[in-house]
A = this chain, B = another copy of it.
Amino acid sequence: MTVQGGTWIDGRKATALPLPDRGLEFGDGLFETLLCRGSHPALLSYHVERLQCGLDTLGFPPVLPLVQQHLVTSLGALEDCPDRWFALRLTVSRGGGPRGYAPPLEAEPRVLITVTPLERDAREPLPPAELGEASLRWGEQPALAGIKHLNRLEQVLVAAECRRQQKDELVVCDQQGQVISVGAGNLFLVLGGELVTPELSHCGVAGTRRRAVIDRWAPALGLAVRQRPVEPAELAQATELFYCNSLQGLRPVASCGGGRWDRHPTCEALFRRSLEDLP
């Protein structure tokens, strides 16, 4: 850990989490992974809005003012390295409580922030990715779909499978076999001249970069995005494929199943537009 990195709990440097904590016990909490340049996070408002959506879903008490206060503290520690890139993981757990699943009526959530320096300059595009197909399928849970909660064992299993397959990412379907996303990112297809991304009403995470493509970057290029169910066979029919997440930004896909793509003009144009939203 460099001098710039570290972990803060409730605004104070920490190396250990007080117990009990329902984040550990049940995954009772949420997180966000923010790309930062020095003390400046990218697309902060999108992260905060998704977090608030998750806090509402899980019935947390109002904690956003505290989150923002602690974010300022941790980001302040990065002011000395304005040109370095960091991953900032913001975790909000429901905190302690008595034994058992029932959340305490008077919960006192904890805010954990961990900062890790990144090697890569986020302004440089990543090489096109080789995608495999995950044997695991996302479980379907409309009550938790979209939000970024701490129950991420499925992502852990997909990441382990991805390493075994020696791919950059794996395409993951839902239990019905419809395409939802990659293991740690959202998927877009250029299909019949249209930009398409799987709809996420029953599983998946509604990524901040996915939202930026839909709300900002595609419209800036005169493109609309259609959110709809996607069949696996449509991947090979796409003229272009890319995925996105907060740390990798937009990454074109070189291959997936039988499909190969040498040109990625849409992804490249969106990537150029996305640079305007980097700090």
On A, residues with C-beta under 8 Å from B are: 7, 14-28, 31, 58-59, 87, 89, 91, 93, 99-103, 112, 114, 116, 136-141, 143-144, 149-160, 162-163, 175, 183-184, 203
Is A58 a contact partner of B157 (Cβ separation < 8 A)?
A: yes
With a cutoff of 8 Å between Cβ atoms, the chain B residues found around residue A139 in the complex are 139-141, 144, 203
| A120 → B minimal CB distance (Å) | 13
Q: Could you list 15 examples of A-B contacts with CB < 8 Å? A: A15-B18, A16-B16, A16-B17, A17-B19, A24-B112, A26-B155, A26-B156, A58-B156, A59-B160, A101-B156, A101-B158, A103-B156, A139-B139, A139-B140, A139-B144
Q: Which of B101, B149, B153 contacts A149 (CB 8 A)?
A: B153
Q: Which of B20, B101, B157, B175 contacts A159 (CB 8 A)?
A: B101
Known A101-B152, A141-B154; judge A24-B17 contact (CB<8 A): yes
The chain B residue with its CB closest to the CB of A18 is: B16
Is B103 a contact partner of A159 (Cβ separation < 8 A)?
A: yes
Q: Which of B19, B87, B141, B149 contacts A15 (CB 8 A)?
A: B19
How many subunits of this chain does the assembly comprise? Answer: 2
Is B159 a contact partner of A143 (Cβ separation < 8 A)?
A: no
With a cutoff of 8 Å between Cβ atoms, the chain B residues found around residue A100 in the complex are 159, 184
Is A163 a contact partner of B19 (Cβ separation < 8 A)?
A: no
Known A17-B19, A23-B24, A143-B136; judge A101-B183 contact (CB<8 A): yes
With a cutoff of 8 Å between Cβ atoms, the chain B residues found around residue A203 in the complex are 139
With a cutoff of 8 Å between Cβ atoms, the chain B residues found around residue A25 in the complex are 31, 89, 91, 150, 152
* Docked pose: A190 CA to B7 CA in angstroms: 53
* Docked pose: A156 CA to B31 CA in angstroms: 17
Is B18 a contact partner of A153 (Cβ separation < 8 A)?
A: no
Q: Which of B150, B154, B160 contacts A103 (CB 8 A)?
A: B160
Is B23 a contact partner of A153 (Cβ separation < 8 A)?
A: no
Is B89 a contact partner of A99 (Cβ separation < 8 A)?
A: yes
* Docked pose: A157 CA to B168 CA in angstroms: 34
